[in-house]
Amino acid sequence: MIYFDNAATTRPSEHAISAMLSVLRDDYGNPSSQHSAGQSAAGLLFAARRKVASILGAAANEIFFTSGGCEGNTMALISAAEYGGSQGKRHIISQQTEHHSVLECLKSLERRGFEVTLLPVDSEGRVSVGDVSAAIRSDTALVSIMTANNEIGTIQPVSAIGQLCREKGVLFHTDAVQAAGVLPLDVKKLCRDMLTLSAHKFHGPKGAGALYVRTGVPVTQLIFGTQERGRRGGTENLPAIMGMSASLADAVSIMPIATERTAALRDALIEGIAALPDTYLNGPRYDRLCGNVSFCFGNITGERLVYELSRRDICASSGSACSSGMSEPSRVMLAIGRSTELAKGALRLSLSALSTADEVEAVLSAIRDIIYSL
């Protein structure tokens, strides 16, 4: 099998698996218990929190463990909205190609009386800092712009937007789920108030994530209970949290070498597909996630391509994992100006540090076969 769907999820690393197994077997105490088993679990939990915090340049008490990206995004948006609402600020700024979890949460906030400005993106999927600046009002509670797009790999000018928000005194959140292990995540440098991570996108387990929230920004409780300093109830999923902290540390430590290597494979794939007739690259040619390749095809739908690749034991995607399976054109493709017809023809191939040049060759030759046999 060739797995080129790393934007949907990644293979857990051996390090993450062994960290998880060890806790499952030997440290099953509840971190809230006072006895030795509980205290030992609490010690591991604190070490994991400190490790994740130090990687982000944050303090340990600024990290909230969650079930992943959707929960982190929801927690960030609801928290900022309620905090803003309490000060009479009911306006939120975001952009059209955000993850479903952000867009759906914003819709729900609209039903609760918030006003949402969804900024457009350019033909490469980039939001303009000038547009963000012009959209900020005295009643703006939050700006939420993803660090990088999961479908077309566009990297947003997040540090400039973070700087702008800080100058204007507006809270800023970024969904950095696709950026972990790919781009530097220093929250202080990027002036970020809130940042979302999800472990299964960087070779950790599913069902674990972290939300960074700057000290001073109040967090709304979505799940009631005493854990996470009373902000997120539920006995901590310690095995998954240990797997996440191990895989995040690994992802960050190999980042300089891994991203360069993955980008070279990505470029070979892009050049190979671009040489085929009637193919259109989605997102920027260079300044994009090192593992992301996305194309529209004029003469075959993305779904058909994914199906044909799957018959050859190659895992790819026709959009985001959440929107594929629906035959609607992707709203990300429409946002960058693709016609409804072309938008149905999207193919996403997403690589990881585990991908190889042989796999790239095999996938290119499979795509050539499929296209020329039609």
- Minimal distance in Å, beta carbon 8 to ligand PLP? 7
Short-list 250, 253, 283, CA closest to 349: 283
- Minimal distance in Å, beta carbon 192 to ligand PLP? 15
- Minimal distance in Å, beta carbon 75 to ligand PLP? 12
Q: Which is nearer to ligand PLP, 79 or 279 (CB)?
A: 79
Q: Using the 8-state DSSP alphabet, how is residue 5 labeled?
A: B
* Residue 322 designated active-site: yes
| DSSP strand pairing (209-213 vs 194-198) | antiparallel
Binding residue for ligand PLP, selected from 27, 62, 175, 308, defined by CB under 6 A: 175
Backbone angles phi, psi at 150, to 5 degrees: -75, -20
Given the residues 70, 191, 315, 322, the one annotated as active site:
322
Between residue 121 and residue 160, which ones bind ligand PLP under the rule CB under 6 A?
A: 146, 150
Does residue number 174 form part of the binding site for ligand PLP (CB under 6 A)?
Answer: no
- 222 within 8 A of 270, measured Cβ to Cβ: no
Q: Which is nearer to ligand PLP, 42 or 177 (CB)?
A: 177
Distance CA 175, CA 192 (A): 11
Between residue 37 and residue 56, which ones bind ligand PLP under the rule CB under 6 A?
A: none
How many residues interact with ligand PLP (rule CB under 6 A)? 14
Q: Which two tokens stand for residue 152?
A: 């077309």
Q: Which is nearer to ligand PLP, 144 or 150 (CB)?
A: 150
Does residue number 319 form part of the binding site for ligand PLP (CB under 6 A)?
Answer: no
Between residue 53 and residue 82, which ones bind ligand PLP under the rule CB under 6 A?
A: 68-70
Amino acid identity, position 196: T
- Minimal distance in Å, beta carbon 331 to ligand PLP? 14
Distance CA 240, CA 208 (A): 6
- Minimal distance in Å, beta carbon 29 to ligand PLP? 26
CB proximity list for 34: less than 8 A, separation 6 or greater: none
Only one of the segments 44-52, 81-89, 170-178, 276-284 lies at the binding site for ligand PLP (rule: CB under 6 A); that segment is 170-178
Q: What number of CA atoms fall less than 13 Å from residue 28's CA on the CB side?
A: 4
Q: Which is nearer to ligand PLP, 175 or 359 (CB)?
A: 175
CB proximity list for 213: less than 8 A, separation 6 or greater: 62, 64, 76, 79, 193, 194, 219
- Minimal distance in Å, beta carbon 104 to ligand PLP? 11
Distance CA 82, CA 88 (A): 10
Q: Write the interaction track for ligand PLP spanning residues 263-282; mark x where CB under 6 A is met and - where it is not.
A: --------------------
Backbone angles phi, psi at 108, to 5 degrees: -65, -35
Does residue number 180 form part of the binding site for ligand PLP (CB under 6 A)?
Answer: no
- Minimal distance in Å, beta carbon 372 to ligand PLP? 33
Q: Which is nearer to ligand PLP, 150 or 301 (CB)?
A: 150
Q: Which is nearer to ligand PLP, 146 or 349 (CB)?
A: 146
Q: Which two tokens stand for residue 102?
A: 């952000």
Q: Say which residue the tokens 């493709």 belong to.
A: 333
Q: Which is nearer to ligand PLP, 293 or 300 (CB)?
A: 293
Question: Cα(first)–Cα(last) distance of the chain, in Å?
Answer: 24
Question: Which residues are paired to 294 by β-bridges?
Answer: 348
Number of helices followed by number of strands (H, E) in the chain: 13, 12
Distance CA 77, CA 79 (A): 5
Does residue number 177 form part of the binding site for ligand PLP (CB under 6 A)?
Answer: yes
Rounded to the nearest 10 degrees, the angle between the axes of helix 255-274 and helix 238-253 is 80
Binding residue for ligand PLP, selected from 84, 209, 319, 329, defined by CB under 6 A: 209
Does residue number 201 form part of the binding site for ligand PLP (CB under 6 A)?
Answer: yes
Comparing every residue's Cβ against ligand PLP, the nearest one is 69
Distance CA 141, CA 299 (A): 45
Does residue number 99 form part of the binding site for ligand PLP (CB under 6 A)?
Answer: yes
Q: Applying CB under 6 A, which residues contact ligand PLP?
A: 68-70, 99, 101, 146, 150, 175, 177-178, 198, 200-201, 209
Q: Where in the sequence numbering do the catalytic residues fall?
A: 322
